[in-house]
Amino acid sequence: MQFSTLALLSAVTVASAATIQQRALKYCGSQPYYTEKYTCYPQNGNLLCPITNGVIYQPCGQACFDPANYGCQNEKLVPTGTCNGQVYDKNSYVCVNNFLCPSTHPNVCGTACYKLSEYHCENGKLAQN
């Protein structure tokens, strides 16, 4: 029995060593990380961004963002959304009935975006106020 226990313990130790070896630490600058949990961006000052639920977060300056919710313009984060499959900046556009309109003209009549103070919609056509 003693030999079997020793053999089993040795097998578990070898298997554990192999798992540890697969998860060997890498370095991003001087920061240690696991590649299955983080992505290193040397071009952003060795920024480490997480991988969460299979989503690889992207760099924007010194911040990390989920590309499904944000975009990066001029090193600044901008909130994004999707409208009929198209990604858009929520600061500049609104999605109305699966149609993108500038936030300055947030209404749709047919396929035209309009401002309530200037137009109204009659039977699917724009009419000036």
Check whether 114 has a pLDDT greater than 90. Answer: yes
Q: DSSP per residue over 63-87, as a string?
A: EEE-TTTEEEETTEEEEEEEETTEE
Task: List the chain domain ranges.
Answer: 97-129
Question: In the predicted model, is pLDDT for residue 106 greater than 90?
Answer: yes
pTM: 0.59
Q: Residue 8's pLDDT is what?
A: 46
CA distances from 38 to 5, 44, 70, 76 (A): 38, 14, 19, 21
Percentage of residues of the chain with pLDDT beyond 70: 82
pLDDT-derived band of residue 126, with 50, 70 and 90 as boundaries? very high
